[in-house]
Amino acid sequence: MGDQKSMSHEATLSLHAGAGPRSIGAPASSPPVMATSFFTHPDAVGFSANDLDEAAPHFYTRWSNPTLELLESRLAALDAGEAALSFASGMAAISALFLDRLTSGDHLVLSNVCYAGVAELAHDILPKHGIIVTPVDTSSLEAVAAAMRPNTKLVHIETPANPILRLADIAAIAAIAHAGGAELSVDATIATPLGTKPLVLGADYVVHSLTKYICGHGDALGGAVIGRQERLAVLRKDSLIHLGGSLSPFAAWLILRGMETLAPRMAMHEANARRVEVFLAAHLKVQSVFWPGSPRHPQHDLAVRQMRNFSGLLAFTAKGEGGALARQLAERLRVVSYAVSLGKTKSLLFYIPTDDILRSSFHLEGEGARSYRDWAADGVFRFSVGLEDPNDLIADLEQALG
């Protein structure tokens, strides 16, 4: 597609960046969905993945496909990475990265608050493969440094972290990881490439659930890992060919279409979240609100340093019993949907009880649990502020909060 040298702004990159399919006749304004599981080749190429390299022609869609290739090159351009790999979901991307970079006896340092699926993968599955995991509060550089061991191979952080929107200092943690001989991967799903560019700040990998803001419309699952070409070539073979979590070209097409509006959507998500945060912070039934763009956020200075868009996800806690307010909101909200997920055009709100998530996912005790409760109290409302008119959102919250 476009000539990347003439594109310096993300709004342009998210529409045009990336190499399009090589021969489709006259250039179409939208990319084709290359709905094929394999490609015919008069010249035989090797049958095993071990005989294929990055220069091999499209051969089998689990290895590569023109629609996926376009998505991958656009993601790499937006995150200022050498290369990107797409996966069937965010979890497929993250599990592939962990299983590729970590082997029996290796040590992983992990945010002790992160998407529940990642916390559960690290707690329930990685140890079965002999991988040792230390969950730490990655908002504390001292805690990250203290967790490093000679066999630490990977530090994985999520910033802002789901669901409380606690931040981690990417550049400082990259320095700690590298000094200890480890790599750093950053889940930037909530920030998006418009908010942070972890690779520019020193990370080795950035991962996204494409299901969220990047697709933006809640109609496709997808995931990606972005980083150095040489590393991702290994990941393609080990994880896509052998573990097989590849993205469908149809989903890739939906994600590419969603990406075309990523920049204006993120600007609007941010502007609406700013309005909603001010409303919630002043509401009698609200105890605390966390949104990185607000001076009320305990790490606002770090947010200003490392984020250029504060995204549309905010978290709040109730003054009274959170569970009762959650039931009331689920019943009364009319514009906002009471639903999981985040990053969709429409507003979504969901309540996460603290006792439940500490038990089922985070397994935190002592200082870790105490710090989580400082943010989340007895439960946190995760509010993905959508693109509705902010006056309607505030009116809906007002009538539902009562």
Least Å from the CB of residue 379 to ligand PLP: 18
**Residue 291 token pair:** 């949104």
Tell me what percent of the chain is helix, strand and coil, each rounded to the nearest 5. Answer: 40, 15, 40
Q: 89 vs 139, which CB is nearer to ligand PLP?
A: 89
* 12 Cβ contact partners less than 8 Å away, ≥ 6 residues apart: 2
Least Å from the CB of residue 313 to ligand PLP: 9
Least Å from the CB of residue 342 to ligand PLP: 6
Q: 333 vs 352, which CB is nearer to ligand PLP?
A: 352
Q: Which residues bind ligand PLP (CB under 6 A)?
A: 89-91, 115, 117, 158, 162, 187, 189-190, 209, 211, 221, 223
Least Å from the CB of residue 211 to ligand PLP: 4
User: Which helix (H) or strand (E) segment is 174 a member of?
Assistant: helix 170-179
Least Å from the CB of residue 212 to ligand PLP: 6
The type of residue at 85 is: L
Least Cα distance to 85 among 104, 103, 65 occurs for 65
Q: 78 vs 221, which CB is nearer to ligand PLP?
A: 221
Q: 180 vs 195, which CB is nearer to ligand PLP?
A: 195
Residue nearest to ligand PLP (CB): 90
CA atoms within 13 A on the CB side of 202: 15
Q: 207 vs 394, which CB is nearer to ligand PLP?
A: 207
Q: 64 vs 189, which CB is nearer to ligand PLP?
A: 189
Determine the Cα–Cα distance for residues 188 and 185; give it in Å rounded to an integer.
9
Determine the Cα–Cα distance for residues 281 and 289; give it in Å rounded to an integer.
6
Q: 246 vs 401, which CB is nearer to ligand PLP?
A: 246
Least Å from the CB of residue 210 to ligand PLP: 7
The two beta strands, 337-338 and 348-353, are parallel
Least Å from the CB of residue 190 to ligand PLP: 6
CA atoms within 13 A on the CB side of 79: 34
* 97 Cβ contact partners less than 8 Å away, ≥ 6 residues apart: 185, 205, 207, 225, 235, 239
Determine the Cα–Cα distance for residues 346 and 333; give it in Å rounded to an integer.
13
Least Å from the CB of residue 142 to ligand PLP: 24
Preceding amide of 163 cis, omega within 30: yes
**Which residues is 152 bridged to in the sheet?**
107
Q: 161 vs 176, which CB is nearer to ligand PLP?
A: 161
Q: 149 vs 217, which CB is nearer to ligand PLP?
A: 217
Sign of CA dihedral 307, 310, 311, 315: positive
Least Å from the CB of residue 149 to ligand PLP: 25
Least Å from the CB of residue 244 to ligand PLP: 15
Angle at the Cα of 201 from the Cα atoms of 196 and 203, rounded to 5 degrees:
100
The type of residue at 77 is: A
Determine the Cα–Cα distance for residues 206 and 85; give it in Å rounded to an integer.
11
Provide the edge-to-edge strand list for the sheet that holds 313-318.
286-290, 313-318, 379-384, 348-353, 337-338
Q: 163 vs 180, which CB is nearer to ligand PLP?
A: 163
